[in-house]
Amino acid sequence: METAFINSPLGITKISGDENGISVISITSDAMEISSEIPETLTEAVSQLNEYFDGKRQDFTFATNPSGTEFQQKVWKSLLEIPFGKTMSYLDLSKKLGDVKAIRAVASANGKNPLWIVVPCHRVIGTDGSLTGYAGGLWRKKWLLEHETPSNQQSLF
């Protein structure tokens, strides 16, 4: 497993993976040294993330290989279907997965998403439209949603 640390508008981003794909993309507020060299297995992910932050990319095409339970994988796959610039409530996501009563399990799986931004857990909001639950901090969730919203709006939240 190889790891690189890059700068992003939201803090230091950690990217880990190998020849089978990227397994972890996370954000940290800790002071980490930015990688001076990016391992070859991570270069495409780094490039695409930089394009996303520059407003030049809406989806990701590099190989991923996240670890999780079968249920978590199912939730993460559903998150990939939420279009750029759109949101979905935890309740609607639970309904989409076929079990409205699984809302807490869906929220838990969403919170354990190991591929920050790429699997867009930030696009899941409360039923009332509120920003709720985000491992990276609600201010980051707000930033990401505003970054993905057309510029003709002042602010979503």
Looking at this protein, which amino acid is placed at residue 139?
W
The token pair that represents 106 in the structure block: 């869906």
Instruction: Characterize 116-153 residue by residue with b for buried, 16 or more Cβ atoms within 10 angstroms of its Cβ, and e for exposed.
Output: bbbbbbbbbbeeeeebebbebeeebbbebbebbbeeee
Provide the residue type at 106 as one letter. Answer: V
CA distance linking residue 85 with residue 80, whole number of Å: 12
Q: Which residues are catalytic?
A: 121
Contact (CB, 8 A) for 46 and 18: no
